[in-house]
Structure 1
Amino acid sequence: MTVMPNSTEGRDIAYQMHPNVNLRKYEKSGGLVIERGEGIYVFDSSGKRYIEGLAGLWSVALGFGEKRLAEVAKAQMEKLPYYHTFAYKTHGPSVDLAEMLIQLAPVPMSKVHFTSSGSEANDLVAKMVWYRSNALGQKDKKKIIGRIKGYHGVTIASASITGLPRNHESFDLPLDRMLHTSCPSFVHFGEDGESEADFTARMLKDLEDLILREGPETVAAFWGEPVMGAGGVLVPPAGYWAGVQAILKQYDILLVVDEVICGFGRTGTLFACERFGIAPDALVLSKQISSSYMPLSAILLNDKFYQPIADESDRIGSFGHGYTASGHPVATAVGLENVKIILERDLVGNVQRLEGQFLDGLAKLAGHPLVASSRGVGLLGALEIKPWAGTASGDAATAVQAAVQDAGVITRNIGESICFCPPLIITGEQIDDMFAGVGKGLDAAAAARG
């Protein structure tokens, strides 16, 4: 038997293929090896400490090392380490979590279906949209509208609903029944002299024009994040969501809301739907549902969405879908405990209390010579970095992100932005420390630029 060496770096490059990187570049440079986490901090293989300013991947609500989650996982592993929810079977943790989610939902919901990731969940909802249309005899009502810069995952269907070129190029995506309407980011797409209200009206007109051009009888559903996360933390303008919902209601189009990033307190309400006045037909949840300690996602369906699907399964004889790990007992047990902790410790209230300080900190950094502007809501925000002359798009933000990481703060660069999404347990003092590190990184990047 081969004994593995202690060092991770060389073996990582030799054996592991990574997501969301330039693979050839990674073969040469390798990556940062994170060894452990504690609260809002992670530590690399040399022992250097970083503030995890993106909560891992927008997800570690409780921070790293929450003992209650570890204890629940251990207890469930010892009691029932695995069982499935196929063929008229279930188990306690999945039932308990489903009941809790129905009780907490921002609007009345009927059923919960568990999967293991946001991508899987959005992919399944797309399948259920088509299944439902067939159940209703609407054979042509199959098209799905996403938005430019929207992000809903990387499976074939969810990546097609996603509106980011990097998730389409060379994958032969999007599928031809997936459409995309305009991105409601005033800072990026507002026209000279256009007010925010005029911009909102134009976005809504773009959506309605697309529906009419395609034919309302062919459009089944619209997908949207309340705040667009992986597109660069894009906050919708006033009146946008009310207008979208009015249009969808007029043309009998389902609304699927993706709260994979926004859910469980991130925007200062338990669900971002509450903050933005959104009433979805389907709600997709993941990431902070378990603080990503275990892979888990949930789909909540209202009765309008669920009942035709149930009828069709009765006609056919089965709902012919399922994943081995759907409703996994360890994942749902951890998710249940995680949500309990969010509620017990009033972490939604913590976001509300710290939102002003967080947004003010971003606004102060927007005065730096390298920064164009800031934006955010709750504990979700971004700095827009000024493009550098003579460089490719995104190079400035990439350089700033690297300098900020060297200064001890992990963020994520998206386009010309660097994005922030710290754990919900962060304190006011730690927010100040995080932005102090960002300021040092910006200064270092400016000095290197000359």
Structure 2
Amino acid sequence: MSFQPNSPAARDVAYVLHPYTNANAHEEQGPMIIERGEGVYVYDDAGKPYIEAMAGLWCASLGFSESRLVKAATDQMNKLPYYHTFAHKAHLPGIDLAERLIKLAPVPMSKVFFCGSGSEANDTAIKLVWYYNNARGRHAKKKFISRMKGYHGVTIASASLTGTPVNHPGFDLPLAGFKHTSNPHYYRFGQEGETEEQFATRMANDLEQMILDEGPETVAAFIAEPIMGAGGVIVPPKTYYEKVQAVLKKYDVLMIADEVICGFGRTGNFWGCETMGIKPDILTCAKALSSSYLPISAVMISDDVYQPIAQASADLGVLGHGYTYSAHPVCAAVALETLKIYEERDIVGHVQAVSPHFQKRLHALIDHPLIGETRGRGLIGAVEIVADKATKKPFDPKAGAGALVNKAATEHGLIVRAIGDNIAFTPPLIINDSQIDELFDKMVKALDDGQAALQKAKAA
């Protein structure tokens, strides 16, 4: 494809290496350029509107035009545009934000460490766990267990936690010491005649066996998203976390909750931990912390984790970890204003009010010939496209069923996320009932178009 000389598309193809993109294909088709946003909608450079059913990357919780966040950034820029938190330095936005997060935590927490992204937060959690176990003299207790298709970031260490298929090949990952236990997707991996509770027991048994095989004295922590996001919006079966946490307690393995997607109201409670009954030792969060208007993330640690770390920092002279942008004052100010808006507008209450309609429309898609399963909680959901509903047989990956439906959705003015043959939805938390109807009306059209395209390809 040729592009207009010096156009934004031509310059993008010439100069930008895109994440999660086929670089060769991008040279041919070029980018979709988003020019502006308003509420739950974004507009391309031709002025076409799209309902942004993914809130960008699971993250723009307050939509794309919240003026209070712009003002918070501008005011802080004018007052203190940058400062760090190294070597006993501090500033009020960072202090206030840490205090606010500790008060909002789903379980008692002691300290907050600030980073710039979810990947950095999970990478930091790994380092802090290693530091913590070294401080306790448990120098062999360093291994991490996550789950197949779990998503925890793309830095070298956090990508090793991640268990999705595209994040390891070509990168020499995962690193040694990072293990992946079973994926708790009942629809795909439940055995014939097995109840959800029995499946959950088997998943917990798989985890326990992995800990025993590795040696409990070598396993430091287990990390999980309350509801898997980029792995396909996998809602774990009933009793899953209850049984998993019993295993972790038995072998003195820390529980890390990755709230990067689920936190701040997405699942119908302020934290996904509250929705799923998780009591973490460490919690990581990002994305909706600032509605993603500026990059910021946080790691919260319990006092049991903090005290050995504090003593080790005294013994060694310093906690030798930190980022130039840890608790960046402008990002922290925007995050504080985001949390104020959540409280003042009762965003969690709004999610609870509209999510029954969202889930009703989501689950109604099970009637479409392409859909084998619908799943979700709050304002997060997904549908799974199958070739045969009765047998759950998937399409041949070469058919590109998910990609065809995703393309059709875009043509109808709807942005969703194709994860293989799963289509995910996480709209801004401010979405209303009429916009939910618009979203799913467009999705039905996209599924119809995708089905027609697949039938045409099969007949050819």
User: Shorter-chain-normalised TM-score: which range?
Assistant: over 0.9
AA aligned opposite 1:111? K
| SS of structure 1 residue aligned to 2:339 | helix
Structure-to-structure mapping, 1:424-435, within 5 angstroms: 424-435=429-440
> Does 2:26 correspond to 1:26?
yes
Which of 393, 400, 404 is the equivalent residue of 2:409?
404
- Residue number in structure 1 paired with 2:381: 381
How far the C-alpha of 1:392 sits from its partner, in A, is 1.8
- Residue number in structure 2 paired with 1:352: 352
AA aligned opposite 2:434? E
> Does 2:437 correspond to 1:441?
no
AA aligned opposite 1:75? D
- Alpha-carbon distance in 1 for matches of 2:298, 2:395: 45
- Residue number in structure 2 paired with 1:146: 146
Distance 1:224 1:205, change over 3 A: same
Aligned length: 447
Mapped contact 2:387–2:395 kept (Cα < 8 A): no
- Provide, for residues 352-391 of structure 1, a one-character-per-residue CA deviation record: whole Å limited to 9, x for no partner: 1112111110111121112112110000000111149874
Which of 409, 421, 424 is the equivalent residue of 1:416?
421
- Alpha-carbon distance in 2 for matches of 1:197, 1:394: 35
- Alpha-carbon distance in 2 for matches of 1:125, 1:364: 39
Question: For structure 1, which runs of at least 5 residues remain unmatched after alignment?
Answer: none
Q: Identity percentage over the alignment?
A: 56
How far the C-alpha of 1:431 sits from its partner, in A, is 0.2
| SS of structure 2 residue aligned to 1:418 | strand
- Provide, for residues 324-372 of structure 1, a one-character-per-residue CA deviation record: whole Å limited to 9, x for no partner: 0000000000000001101111110111111211111011112111211
- Alpha-carbon distance in 1 for matches of 2:11, 2:107: 49
Deviates more, 1:384-393 or 1:89-98: 384-393
Mapped contact 2:399–2:454 kept (Cα < 8 A): no
How far the C-alpha of 1:6 sits from its partner, in A, is 7.6
Structure-to-structure mapping, 1:235-274, within 5 angstroms: 235-274=235-274
- Residue number in structure 1 paired with 2:391: none
Q: TM-score by structure 2 length?
A: 0.95
Deviates more, 1:217-226 or 1:183-192: 183-192
Question: For structure 2, which runs of at least 5 residues remain unmatched after alignment?
Answer: 389-393, 456-460
Mapped contact 2:405–2:450 kept (Cα < 8 A): yes
- Residue number in structure 2 paired with 1:94: 94
Distance 1:393 1:261, change over 3 A: farther
Q: TM-score by structure 1 length?
A: 0.97
Deviates more, 1:206-215 or 1:359-368: 359-368
AA aligned opposite 2:283? L
How far the C-alpha of 1:25 sits from its partner, in A, is 0.8
- Residue number in structure 2 paired with 1:217: 217
Distance 1:113 1:27, change over 3 A: same
Structure-to-structure mapping, 1:121-136, within 5 angstroms: 121-136=121-136
- Provide, for residues 189-224 of structure 1, a one-character-per-residue CA deviation record: whole Å limited to 9, x for no partner: 112222212211110100000011111111010000
AA aligned opposite 1:288? A
- Alpha-carbon distance in 1 for matches of 2:310, 2:170: 37
- Alpha-carbon distance in 2 for matches of 1:338, 1:257: 21
Mapped contact 2:110–2:302 kept (Cα < 8 A): yes
Deviates more, 1:287-296 or 1:344-353: 344-353
- Provide, for residues 213-243 of structure 1, a one-character-per-residue CA deviation record: whole Å limited to 9, x for no partner: 1111110100000000010000011100011
Mapped contact 2:409–2:442 kept (Cα < 8 A): yes
- Alpha-carbon distance in 1 for matches of 2:366, 2:402: 14
AA aligned opposite 2:247? I
- Residue number in structure 2 paired with 1:62: 62
Structure-to-structure mapping, 1:357-372, within 5 angstroms: 357-372=357-372
- Alpha-carbon distance in 1 for matches of 2:351, 2:288: 14
